[in-house]
Amino acid sequence: MSGFVSFVSSGPGDPELLTFKAAKRIAEADAILFDDLSAGPILAYARADADLVGVGKRAGRASPRQDQVSRLLVDYALTGARVVRLKSGDAGLFGRLEEEMTALTAEGVAFEVIPGVPSACAAAAAASIPLTRRISARRVQFVTGHDLTGGLPEGLNIAALADPSATTVVYMGKRTFPELVAILTAHGLPADTPALLAEAVGHPEQALTRTTITDLAARLTQDVGSAPALIFYGPLAEGIRP
């Protein structure tokens, strides 16, 4: 008899940003398959006898393949267990949600998706910046900074990404940002466009660095560090100044 899978969005890592439904599902689960950024204090909501299985993927570290994660999720569900697949941020944003839903559907396993606070929204709130502004920043765009090989993805809409009136958020892009900036400035994005590096959002070691795209690219050429990060650029990235 098949169990049931809840894709639970944990937000950026601060347990106080969990939704009530997310906390309830974690507390009810027989098994929790969690991402690296969903570990720590969030797992304190789990039952003492629940199986806790780390399946996170981090750049530069040994990680399970996606097909292995999907198979493990199916195998747990087919035992009749109540399973939580705990994903950081919002599960639908760069979280490989579709692959796992497809694997469950193929095996006839029922599931639900519980939304959460996107990491980009949490980072903007932490930095006290809005994502939109009337007239000058009417559009927000999220983009991943690397493909399956770790390089800058091909086929990016460079014209859109070089739009100086948009707020752009780059996920998982520290290693490729210098290359991206070279392309964007060659396509007309001003070199002094404000940028914000938001590292370890929602965690005690959170760090927010306000700079420009060119200065940030130069910094990341020298050292990308190990902290997970988002990069914002555009007219609002500088933040509110007195």
Q: Which of 21, 51, 57, 215 is catalytic?
A: 57
Position 172, amino acid: M
> Which residue in the block uniquely carries the two structure tokens 């392309």?
183
Burial 193-208 (b: 16+ CB within 10 A, else e): bbbbbbbbbbbeebeb
Q: Is the dihedral of CA 224, 174, 119, 209 positive or negative?
A: positive
Q: Which of 14, 90, 163, 172 is catalytic?
A: 172
Quick check: 200 and 207 in contact, CB under 8 A?
A: yes
Q: Which of 35, 87, 90, 101 is catalytic?
A: 35
Does the active-site annotation cover 35? yes
Does the active-site annotation cover 57? yes
Does the active-site annotation cover 1? no
Alpha-carbon 26 to chain mean position: 19
For residues 96 and 104, give the distance between their C-alpha atoms in angstroms, rounded to a whole number: 13
For residues 167 and 132, give the distance between their C-alpha atoms in angstroms, rounded to a whole number: 7
Residue 166 sits at φ, ψ, to 5 deg, of -105, 150
Closest residue by Cα to residue 66 from 88, 95, 46: 95
Which active-site residues does the annotation give?
35, 57, 172
